[in-house]
Amino acid sequence: MNITKIESYHVKLPLVAPFKTSYGFLSHKAMDILVVTDELGNQGYGELVAFEQPDYTEETLETARLILANHLIPLLVQSQITHPDDVTRLFSVIRGNWMAKSSLETAIWDLYAKRHKKSLAELFSSQTDKLSVGVSIGIQKSVQDLIEVVSRYVAEGYTRIKLKIAPNQDVSFVKAVRSHFPEMLLMVDANSAYDLDSLAIFKELDTYQLSMIEQPFGYSDFLEHAELQKNIETPICLDENIRSVEDVMLGHRLGSLGAVNLKISRVGGVTQAQKIVEYCKNNGLGLWCGGMFESGVGRALNLAFASQEGFNFPGDISASTRYFKEDIINETFELENGRLSVPKENGLGVTLNKAMLEKYGHYHVMYVK
Ligand code: OSB
Ligand code: MG
């Protein structure tokens, strides 16, 4: 395929409700939408999901834009690409910068699928057209507020609840939610807010039948996570730590994890994410699809990807209404009996809403042949 043009929209969408985690507070989500055009006029969409602050991982929107403009785009347009896997190989000379790589690689997947008149779900050997999904709930001011928020999501049909926790905002919250919802699939995510000094907290959390505990310790720590796992029954799920299949293998061998939160963007794209799916499947690990408060473009990709064999737990892929009042795609993702439909149309199966892009975005041309 021949790339003739690469455009981007710098978008910033207000969240329906602010989101508080152990490391920060989010009222808007910014993202870039890449539009890659080929010689036949097909267009592939990719989402750059990095945050504005380097507080979840080290990349930011700004660092990723630089890497795209100065390194990834020049590499891509100089080369002959026949399959999206070629893009991953091409980008392997550049270290790290996973989200920058993923934004372009996923746009090429969409383009490739459209050129072959197939949906991404088809290309990923989708096993189902409806996915059970969960919702990730930010830290609330009080236990009462949290119970209200959880109750609302449960009423909407979510079958798995993830609570963000931080020191002193952990056990009391989990205890209250568990006693209101004894059967609910419930888990927590600490976003690296603790270390082994808090072992007693985790021993206590271990008594609430949590499905897993996500990223309790440092974002590149494996040893303390392994030590923790020896002391608790609840599986540890790693998120921030996992940038590649090698990280999953390391965590598995060391006993630092029982499950993986897989974000395509955090591991450099679909081709790399696929290796993790295979490894988890072959080794009986928990596997589910994480989220980055993506726009509908990124969410469509997550739905297609997570509908394949190997994913065995509801992901952080919530309905459109959970995130933004207005999105930049024309379609909406609506919950039906706790499930979202996997898009069926060619490629990602979603179309850009030009009016919303104009309202919330700024247009840039990154490359013209
Ligand atoms: O740690 O999984 C996380 C959102 C932004 C950054 C990190 C995380 C999250 C979430 C929500 O937990 C994911 C979503 O619903 O998109
Ligand atoms: Mg997480």
214 labeled part of a ligand binding site: yes
Active site residue 164: yes
Q: What is the CATH number of domain 3-117+353-368?
A: 3.30.390.10
Domain ranges of the chain: 3-117+353-368, 122-341
For residue 136, report the distance from its CA to the centre of ligand 1, in Å: 7
Question: Three-class SS of residue 337?
Answer: coil
- ipTM value, please give it: 0.98
Q: Does 263 participate in catalysis according to the annotation?
A: yes
CATH classification (class only), 122-341: alpha beta
Which pLDDT tens digit goes with each residue over 320-361? 999 999 999 999 999 999 999 999 999 999 999 999 999 999
The two structure tokens encoding residue 136: 């990730």
Contact in structure between 180 and 208 (CB atoms under 8 Å): no
Taking only the tens place, the pLDDT of each residue in 123-155 is 999 999 999 999 999 999 999 999 999 999 999
Q: Do domains 3-117+353-368 and 122-341 have the same CATH topology?
A: no
56 lines ligand 1 (CB under 6 A): yes
- Please name which ligand lies nearest the alpha carbon of 290: 1
Per DSSP, the residues of 209-275 read: --S-EE--S-TT--HHHHHHHHH-SSPEEESTT-SSHHHHHHHHHHT--SEEEE-GGGGTSHHHHHH
pLDDT tens readout for residues 85-114 = 999 999 999 999 999 999 999 999 999 999
Q: Is 32 annotated as a binding residue?
A: no
